[in-house]
Amino acid sequence: MITAHQECAVPKEVYHEGPKVKEGMQYGEYVNNQASSAPTPLSSTSDDEEEEEEDEEAGVDSSSTTSSASPVPNSYDALEGGSYPDVLSSSASSPAPDPAPEPDPAPAPAPAVPQPSKMAKPFGYGYPTLQPGYQNAAAPLNPGVQPSSPVYSGFQPYTQQYPGMNQLSSSLGGLSLQSSAQPESLRPVNLTQERNILPMTPVWAPVPNLNLDLKKLNCSPDSFRCTLTNIPQTQALLNKAKLPLGLLLHPFRDLTQLPVITSNTIVRCRSCRTYINPFVSFIDQRRWKCNLCYRVNDVPEEFMYNPLTRSYGEPHKRPEVQNSTVEFIASSDYMLRPPQPAVYLFVLDVSHNAVEAGYLTILCQSLLENLDKLPGDSRTRIGFVTFDSTIHFYNLQEGLSQPQMLIVSDIDDVFLPTPDSLLVNVYESKELIKDLLNALPNMFTNTRETHSALGPALQAAFKLMSPTGGRVSVFQTQLPSLGAGLLQSREDPNQRSSTKVVQHLGPATDFYKKLALDCSGQQTAVDLFLLSSQYSDLSSLACMSKYSAGCVYYYPSFHYTHNPSQAEKLQKDLKRYLTRKIGFEAVMRIRCTKGLSMHTFHGNFFVRSTDLLSLANINPDAGFAVQLSIEESLTDTSLVCFQTALLYTSSKGERRIRVHTLCLPVVSSLADVYAGVDVQAAICLLANMAVDRSVSSSLSDARDALVNAVVDSLSAYGSTVSNLQQSALIAPSSLKLFPLYVLALLKQKAFRTGTSTRLDDRVYAMCQIKCQPLVHLMKMIHPNLYRIDRLTDEGAIHVSDRVVPQPPLQKLSAEKLTRDGAFLMDCGSVFYIWVGKSCDNNFIEDVLGYPNFASIPQKMTYLPELDTLSSERARSFITWLRDNRPLSPILHVVKDESPAKTEFFQHLIEDRTEAAFSYYEFLLHIQQQICK
């Protein structure tokens, strides 16, 4: 085995590169996920900006980089949120230097000296404005770079042959919303008179108003979407609309089809480093124009050959130019060290509290079942650390007859007892690993140890993982009470229902944040599983995941036997957690068309530079958001583009780059801006902004800002439309759900007041808002309600070999609940089946397996598999809803008039509660505010 102090210099042959392949062998190959056996390409000499990223990732000095060797700064304050001092706009950031083998004939300029910013105040009254230090300036154009006119006039004979973004843009004039009949999205809706505002089918993302060719090529909204599908020409126009502008990303989601490209040359703009994509323009066979900075680039010789069509001279038909989502297999130029192996470390609380809760049995069983399914290759390594008031390591070195437990009691100066045998190869030490997993649940059965030295255990984990990087999974059941990072209880149960002040939403100590940043610097992410029946200060503990690009899982009132639904949920969540794909040592950069810039990012990561996010791990369930502003007028272009590039190491040891490109039209009228609102994207971005506001200012400030978002946007819309009744509350159809969704946010656990919300529950809801992809976050904000006692095959869809009924959506109001019916509410991570008192006995018997309403137990958390058509339909529908969730939903069967119905009724957004408006009252309140 390689010892820890040798591990930094792992010999290259350990990380073998695999067989060499012919150029372009893998073009057009479609794979289900990154675990394909795609061969590594020949080494490339293409220049790339990720050289500097690689230096930072590996923590290695390099003469070819201008960046600091370490990604962790000296100062840890204000890393996430707000803005960054002395930044250049993303479109103007200086590209990385070219690698030595290929000098750039047109060297990039030095960054321009920032001028005092003239940027308009970003959207959202009540949100913090950008710091005075936030400045943007455009870099001077390279010598020889073409001016940014929308259409390049040279080489006219090729214009039709090579359609690109700028050529197609001229045909967009006919798509202006002003010259055609008023679209449905602009139909005025009188909100106070429209009884059934909620559509009966799910709300889909609006399709950008592009011509057919561009629509077909555009990125899927499931991966990448914008709050406005029509981008205002100027910041002044955006300010007038009073709408948030930003992007919602789900960059690493599971895809059924993904073009995977192996090539000697990854073609990128030599100025702004954008990857070639469907929205570039081919001026002729030999030159293409970047759709972000408008520089004209040469087409490399290799790119002239298309391996799919086996033809020469048709660069515009290459897969990179035909698909807005692609994955490149990167050459060695995208690495400074050989790709790391998959390394997994489990850090387990074994105090009396933890043993009593009984989670160890479930975890060890799940690991035994999924050990062979952990993503990785022949180099995959695993280790275990347990802790109470001391720290216990486990020597699992091949050749031992049984696992060896090594106890370190000095928690003030943690050291590794045998550094070379604590992380072992999964395949070489499999029998010892299995022995340990079988023994662990019973090893601490009689413990009387009540203390928890979580901080020192994490310090040990950091030392253990630093040489390679990887993933640390922490299981904690109580407040840490010993050593570094110890915490005191900060929750006053009497203050839970306060309508004024909710305290302690921020961390009590910066220990966990600093540790997370150190971990991020060594390519290690920390995932937290909190299984607690008492307050555990999640706002402090969550920092270990938030700043290291990890995840937080929370199981309140967890107990192996007393709370079987939570135990089952943990088991199902672990199955996905242990087997889902994973990317290591990742960085993500978002680029946008010249004139736009990014100023605030949301999600779990470390911001390394103005537009570069450091992600020690990336997983398919992680979502991100970014706020945008318009720095310069976009009058010279009719289209803008956004591109996100995620560079990561797959669990098989391949360096890969996943690229998504989104194209949207630019508009000059306020009506067009309103017509293109993506209301769900807007509400998810606002939710992220409100979480930041709650922590940096107060919960009441965040709630006021959410209400103001509705007041401002509807007021601004009203002032643009003549002939409106002053007494009516009118919204364009595109915004008709905006007040309902904001009310739903105000009643969500993260932001609600007046009901008894545990502090950890509230903080967890905030964590979810910051890292859930839009599709899952929307169910959490505004659940879906269906009537399920009359499911039919009418309108059903076929999934695999199942027929899945599609009942209509019901509005979230008690008036929709009938005593003779049964209703399913999908809240994202929990399902409720509410059964009315007079519900048909046939349904109760055929689906629930009980003869009548009275015989249904008070705590029922599953649907039996019964051989009836009704059971099959109900289970098929619920299984379909459950598919592809990051978290397995718990199912609660709630009887009408049972005590458990309180939680269910709290999700009926449109009804009044003791502390919150009904939907109708909220509309009247909005109207009142507008008329002030």
- The first and second tokens of residue 248, run together, are 């919602």
Q: What is the rounded CA–CA span in Å between residue 333 and residue 52?
A: 11
Neighbouring C-beta atoms of residue 304, cutoff 10 Å:
15
Beta pairing, strands 381-387 & 343-349: parallel
Residues 6+ apart with CB under 8 A from 667: 176, 177, 230, 231, 232, 233, 673, 676
Residue 926 shares a structural domain with residue 880? no
Q: What is the rounded CA–CA span in Å between residue 806 and residue 562?
A: 35
Residue 788 shares a structural domain with residue 775? no
Answer whether residue 448 is part of any domain. yes
Residue 425 shares a structural domain with residue 390? yes
- The first and second tokens of residue 784, run together, are 């879906």
With beta carbons less than 8 A apart as the criterion, state whether 684 and 778 touch: yes
With beta carbons less than 8 A apart as the criterion, state whether 773 and 623 touch: yes
Residue 748 shares a structural domain with residue 885? no
Answer whether residue 594 is part of any domain. no
Q: Is 679 left (phi over 0), alpha (psi -120 to 50) or beta?
A: alpha
Q: Which residue has the tokens 């599971």?
A: 254
Residue 772 shares a structural domain with residue 731? yes
Answer whether residue 552 is part of any domain. yes
Q: What is the rounded CA–CA span in Å between residue 44 and residue 63?
A: 19
Residue type, 136: N
Beta pairing, strands 231-232 & 246-249: unpaired
The reported pLDDT for the residue numbered 869 is: 94
Residue 709 shares a structural domain with residue 845? no
Q: What is the rounded CA–CA span in Å between residue 271 and residue 94?
A: 8
Answer whether residue 499 is part of any domain. no
Residue ranges of the alpha helices (H) in 725-796?
738-746, 759-771, 774-781
Give CA 459 to chain center in angstroms. Answer: 27
> CA 285 → CA 282, 306, 319, 374, 585, distances in Å?
7, 13, 16, 46, 37
Answer whether residue 888 is part of any domain. yes
- The first and second tokens of residue 442, run together, are 């019973």
Residue 400 shares a structural domain with residue 548? yes
Half-sphere exposure of 102 (CA within 13 A, CB side): 11
Q: Which residue has the tokens 């001077």?
A: 140
Residue 728, judged by CB atoms within 10 A of its CB (0-12, 13-18, 19+), counts as: middle
Residue 806 shares a structural domain with residue 899? yes
Residue type, 108: A
- What are all long-range contacts of 562-570, with beta carbons under 8 Å and residues at least 24 apart? 564/861, 565/861, 565/890, 565/891, 565/892, 566/531, 566/890, 567/358, 567/362, 568/861, 568/888, 568/890, 569/887, 569/888, 569/889, 569/890, 570/359, 570/362, 570/363, 570/529, 570/531
> CA 763 → CA 277, 304, 822, distances in Å?
40, 54, 32
- Strands (E) across 243-295 are located at 246-249, 259-262, 281-284, 287-289
Q: Which of 620, 618, 628, 541 is nearest to 584 (CA)?
A: 618
Residue 760 shares a structural domain with residue 682? yes
The reported pLDDT for the residue numbered 437 is: 98
Q: What is the CATH number of the domain that holds 692?
A: 1.20.120.730
- The first and second tokens of residue 553, run together, are 């899982």
The structure's pTM equals: 0.82
Q: What is the CATH number of the domain that holds 400?
A: 3.40.50.410
Give CA 320 to chain center in angstroms. Answer: 24
* Counted domains in the chain: 3
Q: Which of 34, 4, 12 is nearest to 343 (CA)?
A: 4
Answer whether residue 314 is part of any domain. no
Answer whether residue 524 is part of any domain. yes
Which H or E element spans position 361?
Answer: helix 359-370
> CA 331 → CA 9, 42, 579, distances in Å?
20, 7, 27
Residue 848 shares a structural domain with residue 725? no
Q: What is the rounded CA–CA span in Å between residue 516 and residue 419?
A: 21
Q: Which of 565, 580, 595 is the last residue of a domain?
A: 580
Residue 848 shares a structural domain with residue 926? no
The reported pLDDT for the residue numbered 144 is: 36
The reported pLDDT for the residue numbered 305 is: 83
Residue type, 50: E
Answer whether residue 390 is part of any domain. yes
Residue type, 176: S
Residues 6+ apart with CB under 8 A from 178: 669, 671, 672
- The first and second tokens of residue 287, run together, are 């030159």
Which H or E element spans position 786?
Answer: strand 784-787
Residue 135, judged by CB atoms within 10 A of its CB (0-12, 13-18, 19+), counts as: buried
Residue 823 shares a structural domain with residue 926? no
Q: Helix (H, G, I), strand (E, B), or coil: what is residue 248? A: strand
The reported pLDDT for the residue numbered 164 is: 42
- The first and second tokens of residue 94, run together, are 């200086």
Mean pLDDT per 10-residue interval, the chain, length 932 residues: 28 26 29 32 32 35 27 26 29 32 31 36 33 29 34 29 41 44 87 90 93 94 97 97 97 94 92 96 92 95 82 86 96 86 98 96 98 97 98 94 95 92 96 97 94 97 97 97 94 67 89 97 97 94 97 95 92 96 96 94 90 94 97 95 97 96 97 96 98 94 96 92 73 96 96 88 97 96 96 90 92 93 95 95 95 92 93 95 87 88 91 90 94 82
Residues 6+ apart with CB under 8 A from 465: 343, 345, 423, 472, 519, 522, 524
Backbone angles phi, psi at 514, to 5 degrees: -60, -45
Query: Residue 414 sits in which domain range?
Result: 343-488+507-580
Q: What is the rounded CA–CA span in Å between residue 670 and residue 732?
A: 12
